[in-house]
Amino acid sequence: MEQFKVQDVPIEKQILPTSRPFSSVFGTDDNIVDVPRNVTIISRQQLSDISIASVLDFSKLTSSSYTTTNFGAPANPSIRGQTADLFINGVRGRITSNGNGLPLDFNAVESVNIVKGPATAVQGTSMYVGGFVDLVTKRPYFDATKGSVSITVGTYSQKEWTLDVGGPIAKDVAYRFSYSGQDSKGYSRDFYNKNHSIYGALTFRPSKGYEIFLNATAAFYRYTENWGINRVTQDLIDNGRYLTGVNSNPAPNFALYPFGYVDAKGVPISFGNINTVGGTAAPISDPQNSKWVTSGFPSGNRVIFGPTVEINRHSRLLKPGDHSTGRELNAQAIQTLTVGPALKVVNNSFISYTARNTLSSYYYSEIIDPSWFAENRTEIIFTQPKWTLNTGLDLRYQRTKAYDDYFFEPANVWDITKDTSYVNVYNSVNFPNPFTSLPIPGWPNRYATDGVQNGDTNDSHGTTVGPFAQGTWKISEAASFVLGGRLDHFDAYVREPLLPTHPTASIAVWIPNYNSSLIYKLTPTSSVYVTYNKSKNTSGAVGNGGGITGWNAAGTKLFKENFLQPSELIEAGTKYALMQNKVFLSFAVFDQKRTFKSTSSTIIQSFHSKGFEAELNYQPSKHLYGTLSYSAIDAKSSPGFQSDGGVGQFYASTSKEGRVSGLPRNLFNGLVSYSLDNGLSFNANILVTSPINNNSAGTLVIPTQYQLDAGVAYNTKTWGLRLSVSNLTDEKNWAPPNAVYGNASILPLAGTQAQLNLKYRF
């Protein structure tokens, strides 16, 4: 035969969202042009090219996604300025309290679908309405047995290794197995990740119309969280200068005074003058004066500040030896019965187990002991020439026992230029706080605040029964109407696990969620749409690990409002697949309102976000691809609480509506990759963010920043070698914390780093 060249792009290297069916929004296999939501699909090729290792990295590949640091361990990304849901193959994979939790495990991930805006009727509501990320896991190989092993080494003692193999067992059964391990240090002092993850999958096709896909993950974590640098000032952000000084608190005298302290005039401190700085100083006990540290309750910490000094960017607030551990086990079964072209039944069952233990001596304590989450969703999908309908029933169960202590959290008391081995509240005569800290059963020398006070400690379980229907009616060749609705019946029971009386409460609510869209096809490969979504949602940090809280002040009942916070989205957009599907363009504008009631206070915050998003994907051949994204978001919120880091404690952050902290108004990213026939390839990406408020008051501002990354690789049929360099120009960039800690935390991002990956394929 005459020789010929194949010009098409292999499916595993496709980055165009039109290259494969998309089911993450409505549960049906749709062309992305016909989906009336702004969506980003991140392929395996993109994940590998820019070495995505955290939800923080999603901002390099999509619009409107910028995630706050969440103590250096964000479990969920943020989209449109709010924490986003995390899904695994279409069902929720984890529920956390505020997006903080175990690191995201990419060992099982093949590709990522990012959907902007609340989940639809098929998935149901949660406390996260900014959007959701659907992790599509690795599938078994039916064509042949194949796999790879790899090792990665890099700066700051990075060491990672992987094994991935799969193939057919019989003509109707195939498997996939993947393992990844890590033993790395990091840019920050005393930082490390010692994590292991095992993933297994099996697909069984006993008949033409039936398939079952089984997958399971076991992940084990030992790592350090990263508060970053405390005592945040604009001088620190602009010039890298840190405010020194140690506290000079007095020694308490409980024999003379009810709360142990008097103020500078000798007046005993009580509820009338609470948080007042104490009187005459006691002698300095150690380099941090840790013996006399208070929680800010009842007496505030008194700090004698010294001069500002240039801070080492590797410094951070942590006592050497502090660490976090965790275990996460997931199992899933997806059964698909195809009766014919007009009828398909899908059952998606998922169960997750999470246990977590964090103790930071500066001080923060969290124990999830453990959290269970299970979901079973049955979808009956009817497909006709003029309409499609996805209807069914969703069942959920969650069970959590969690203990949390953040009332004694004097983060700004500690001077990280001095000996950090004394950054330890256990040295203090005021710890545990007699008013807020209670011993945790079964955990010696560990304390937590009761759930009535802090809104996170809980022993709870809840069940959800949610019938749903999601349909599309083809009005004409050009116009379609989409309508979906769901009504969840949620039953919750809570037992407070620390108070001697162990108060209990239960609640039952109906939680609605509905959406509608109108789509008009300008051409067979382009569309315009308008979407409306309205829902009620559970609110606030509903217990670490996904538990249920929200007590009234008396500890006698749960606030119904915590489970029925409204959210409303209006979105309009247009999409274009051009140049014979070599270019994909999408544009969207949105207006979203929601209210948020913290489970640890009576304050109800309102959020209002308006924005514009634009995304471009270009892949003319197997040699070249590029992506561009831009978003402009105006996000504002009403007053909430913010911590000053323990010098006082908490206070209302603003007196009127203000800009949401931790979110750039403008975000731009770009990625380009070019490969040669000889196996050599090059890629580069850039991320640019406009100024970001580090605190809610807007008095601490991170300026415009950019990061440039680049990589070069050489691949043969059996070998691959990739060198990646991040922050090529060694920018001194910063990342903000979640809003409540904006006065006490900022994370210095890493300077120039390099990693080398060697892969062998078989």
Domain with CATH 2.170.130.10 in the chain: 11-137
pLDDT tens string 96-109 = 655 567 888 899 99
Q: What is the pLDDT of residue 562?
A: 82
- How large is the average pLDDT for residues 738-758? 93
Q: 698 by DSSP, 3-state: which? A: coil
> Where in the chain are all domains bearing CATH 2.40.170.20?
146-227+318-407+449-761
Q: How far apart, in Å, are the Cα atoms of 757 and each of 38, 151, 365, 629, 723?
A: 34, 6, 36, 27, 6
- Residue 313 clears pLDDT 60, i.e. is over it: yes
DSSP string, 313-357: TT--S--TT-EEEEEEEEEEEEEEEEEETTEEEEEEEEEEEEEEE
Q: The tokens 């509501």 sit on which residue?
A: 125
- Sign of the dihedral through C-alpha 354, 326, 71, 131: negative
- Alpha carbon 534 to its chain centroid, in Å, reads 23
Which of 119-123, 165-169, 214-218 shows the lowest per-residue confidence on average (mean pLDDT)?
119-123
Q: Is the pLDDT of residue 315 over 80?
A: yes
> Looking at the predicted structure, is the pLDDT value of residue 652 above 50?
no
- Residue 490 CA to chain centroid, in angstroms? 24
Mean pLDDT of 372-377: 95
Handedness of CA 252, 256, 257, 258 (dihedral sign): positive
pLDDT at position 515 over 60? yes
Is pLDDT above 70 for 42? yes
pLDDT at 96 (0 to 100) = 60
Res 307: pLDDT: 96
pTM of the model: 0.92
Q: Are 199 and 177 in contact (CB under 8 A)?
A: yes
End-to-end CA distance of the chain: 29
DSSP, residue by residue, 403-459: EEE-SS--GGG--TTS-GGG--GGG-TT-S-TTT-EEETTEEEEEE--HHHHS--EE
What percentage of the chain carries pLDDT values higher than 90? 69
pLDDT for 212: 98
Closest C-alpha among 218, 215, 217 to residue 333: 215
The Cα-based distances of 713 to 46, 729, 753 in angstroms read 14, 20, 17
Question: 11-137 domain in CATH 2.60.450.10?
Answer: no
Give DSSP secondary structure letters for 576-613: EEETTTTEEEEEEEEEEEEEEE-TTSS-EEEEEEEEEE
Longest dimension (CA), the chain: 101
* Cβ atoms of residues 381 and 389 within 8 Å: yes
Q: What is the pLDDT of residue 733?
A: 98
Q: Any idea which of 64-73, 201-210, 502-511 has the lowest mean pLDDT?
A: 64-73
Dihedral of alpha carbons 423, 427, 430, 433, sign = positive
CA distances to 352, 726, 754 from 749, rounded to whole Å, are 32, 11, 14
Give pLDDT tens digits for 682-704: 999 999 999 999 998 899 999 99
- Chain segment 116-151, per-residue pLDDT in tens: 999 999 999 888 888 999 999 999 999 999 999 999
DSSP state of 513: E
**pLDDT tens per residue across span 318-344:** 999 998 999 999 999 999 999 999 999
Q: Are 187 and 288 in contact (CB under 8 A)?
A: no
Are 397 and 463 contacting, i.e. CB atoms less than 8 angstroms apart? yes
Provide CATH code, domain 146-227+318-407+449-761. 2.40.170.20
